[in-house]
Structure 1
Amino acid sequence: MTKTNLITGFLGSGKTTSILHLLAHKDPAEKWAVLVNEFGEVGIDGALLADNGAMVKEIPGGCMCCVNGLPMQVGLNTLLRQHKPDRLLIEPTGLGHPKQILDLLTSPVYEPWIGLRATLCVLDPRQLLDEKAVQNENFRDQLAAADVIVANKEDRASTESHEAFELWWQNFGGDRQRVYATQGNIDQALLDLPRTNTAELPASDEHAHHHAVKKGLAALSLPSHQRWRRSLNSGQGHQACGWIFDADTCFDTIGILEWARLAPVERVKGVMRTPDGLVRINRKGEDFFIETQNVAPPDSRIELISAVNTDWNLLQANLLKLRLTLGD
């Protein structure tokens, strides 16, 4: 039976960073797997989690609970039956609702396979000051479904965000556990806490619609003859636009960082090839984190998410100007 944890959190809360920290500190004798879902289709989180000591399976292009859970079930079955991990971490999109996923994980068909442990919700307490986030039912229900609330980004906290979190905890914390973290630095022991929160969640109105069935479970890749490609996705009040470029395309380091920093969107994630090696980009609002490594990824991919209409063509034109090796 595979020990399994659901790790939720709204856009930019730090889910992937938390999982990277957990992977870096896992017992090397254990076999771990990560099932990751993204709102967009180019697979940024899969690229970030690759080569970090776990088998990674991606479900791009929406939320796991859509299309009657079929993409979720196929990805889950593949990991459980083919790889037989000791532990499975499931990271839904920040725009996803936890009810259908938890319903599936606790269904009789998975009872012999899955030992469901605590659900962790990673929260940036500053989001409690954002009325748009607070009014989002997915945001509220991610918190409501959790056994452990991880108040992340302590290094970015303010007096106002601390007060907002304390007020929220007084009203909704109950007898659950809360921990504070910076850059997703959480104790692995949290994963072995039991699942005690069995509160019945309502079905999400935002997911009462039908999503188009995606073409597959793998993140977007390029045909051998194609130098780059753009992919669009929309739903749940947000739009995503992502680009993937082949391995022969490099980007000006300073230029790509400025492009990502100034893009008029709320979320940017990317793994880009530059003359300085790999550049990992992670931006939520004005929080902008970069990491460089002296390695070259197999391709470059970057994705933007916006809650308002955005001129993707203009952003694309400026992005293409930053290529040092120009393709078609």
Structure 2
Amino acid sequence: MTKTNLITGFLGSGKTTTILHLLANKPEHEKWAVLVNEFGEVGIDGALLADSGALLKEIPGGCMCCVNGLPMQVGLNTLLRQGKPDRLLIEPTGLGHPKQILDMLTAEVYQPWIELHATLCLLDPRQLLDERAVKNDNFRDQLAAADIIIANKEDHASEVSRSALSEWLQREGGEREVIHAQNGNIDISLLDKPRLNLRELPSSPEHNHSHAAARGLAALSLPEHQRWRRSINSGQGYTGCGWIFDADTLFDTVGILEWARLAPVERVKGVLRITEGLVRINRQGQDFHIETQNVAPPDSRIELIHSGEVDWNALQNSLLKLRLSL
């Protein structure tokens, strides 16, 4: 049986960073797999996890619980039957609802395959101060479904956000363990904690996506001889716009960082080719993290998510001007 954990958390809470940390500290003799779901269609998290050494399956373009769970079932079955991993980490989109996923994982058909352990929910306590997040059904239900809550981004916490977390835990925490962390740096032993299964989970809210998950399990790719492509999808009051560029396209390093920093959106995530190799970009609100390496990715991908109106064409025009090679 495959030991399995659901790693949830709202947009920008640090799920992928946490999974990368866990993969870097896994036992050498174990084979691990990751089933990752993203709101957008260009597959940023898949690119970030590509060199982690884990078996990887992507479900891009929406919520893996949609379409009667078919995209998730296909990806899950592939990993379990072909990969036979010792451990499986499942990362739903930050706009995903956990109940249908947990219902599927505990279904009788998966009993011989899956040993379900604790669900971890990443929480940036500052999100408790954001009315849009607190009122979001998925935000609330992810926390409700958690067996362990990871209060992440401790280095960005303030007295106000710490107080908000303390008040929330008094109201909603119950018997659950709370771990304070920075950069998703948590002890791997948390994955072996048992599932508490003490709470009646709320039903999945009605939600609709315009997404590609039902059409296939591969992230967006480029047709032959096409230099770049844009994809837009929306759901639950959010819109995601992503671009993928071919391997011959390089971006101006300073320019792309400023573009990502100043883009009038809530979420920016990307892996792009630059003269120096690659740059990874991760921005949530005003939190802006970058990392460079002297190796080049196979292509460039960047995605923006926002809950309001955005002039995607204007952002695209300024992005295209940052290309060094045409």
Show the counterpart of 2:254: 254
Contact map agreement 1:3 1:88 (CA 8 A) in 2: yes
Q: Distance in 1 between matches of 2:172 and 2:163?
A: 14
TM-score using structure 2 length: 0.98
Q: Distance in 1 between matches of 2:130 and 2:53?
A: 36
Show the counterpart of 1:288: 288
Contact map agreement 1:145 1:198 (CA 8 A) in 2: no
1:79 alignment partner, SS class: helix
Deviation at 1:325, TM superposition (A): 0.6
Contact map agreement 2:34 2:89 (CA 8 A) in 1: yes
Q: Does 1:8 align with 2:43?
A: no
Letter of the 2:189 counterpart: A
Q: Does 1:36 align with 2:39?
A: no
Letter of the 1:42 counterpart: V
Q: Distance in 2 between matches of 1:113 and 1:205?
A: 28
Contact map agreement 1:66 1:211 (CA 8 A) in 2: no
Show the counterpart of 1:46: 46
Q: Does 1:169 align with 2:169?
A: yes
Q: Does 1:263 align with 2:288?
A: no
Deviation at 1:198, TM superposition (A): 4.1
Alpha-carbon deviations, 1:253-297, whole Å to 9, x = none? 000000000000000000000001110000000000000001000
Contact map agreement 2:152 2:180 (CA 8 A) in 1: yes
Letter of the 1:92 counterpart: P
Runs of 4 or more above 3 Å deviation: 209-214
1:298 alignment partner, SS class: coil
Q: Does 1:114 align with 2:114?
A: yes
Deviation at 1:223, TM superposition (A): 1.4
Q: Does 1:103 align with 2:91?
A: no
Contact map agreement 1:22 1:186 (CA 8 A) in 2: yes
TM-score using structure 1 length: 0.98
Q: Distance in 2 between matches of 1:235 and 1:211?
A: 7
Deviation at 1:204, TM superposition (A): 2.5
Where does structure 2 lack aligned partners over 5 or more consecutive residues? Answer: none
2:214 alignment partner, SS class: coil
Show the counterpart of 1:66: 66
Letter of the 1:127 counterpart: Q
Q: Does 1:92 align with 2:92?
A: yes
Q: Distance in 2 between matches of 1:274 and 1:34?
A: 28
Q: Distance in 1 between matches of 2:171 and 2:85?
A: 38
Show the counterpart of 2:26: 26
Where does structure 1 lack aligned partners over 5 or more consecutive residues? Answer: none
Q: Distance in 1 between matches of 2:260 and 2:52?
A: 25
Aligned-residue RMSD, C-alpha: 1.0
Letter of the 2:292 counterpart: T
Q: Distance in 1 between matches of 2:108 and 2:6?
A: 18
Q: Distance in 1 between matches of 2:12 and 2:228?
A: 26
Contact map agreement 1:67 1:211 (CA 8 A) in 2: no
Q: Distance in 2 between matches of 1:202 and 1:179?
A: 24
Show the counterpart of 1:243: 243
Alpha-carbon deviations, 1:105-128, whole Å to 9, x = none? 000000000000000000000000
Show the counterpart of 1:233: 233
Contact map agreement 2:210 2:234 (CA 8 A) in 1: no
Deviation at 1:7, TM superposition (A): 0.3
Contact map agreement 2:229 2:244 (CA 8 A) in 1: yes
Q: Distance in 2 between matches of 1:274 and 1:206?
A: 42
Alpha-carbon deviations, 1:231-260, whole Å to 9, x = none? 010001100000000000000000000000
Alpha-carbon distance change, 211 to 252 in structure 1, aligned in 2, over 3 angstroms: closer
2:68 alignment partner, SS class: helix
Contact map agreement 2:276 2:294 (CA 8 A) in 1: yes
Aligned-residue sequence identity (percent) comes to 77
Letter of the 1:318 counterpart: S
2:133 alignment partner, SS class: helix
Show the counterpart of 2:180: 180
Show the counterpart of 1:324: 324
Alpha-carbon distance change, 198 to 175 in structure 1, aligned in 2, over 3 angstroms: closer
Letter of the 1:95 counterpart: L
Q: Does 1:299 align with 2:299?
A: yes
Q: Distance in 2 between matches of 1:269 and 1:211?
A: 20
Deviation at 1:215, TM superposition (A): 2.1
Give aligned pairs, total: 325
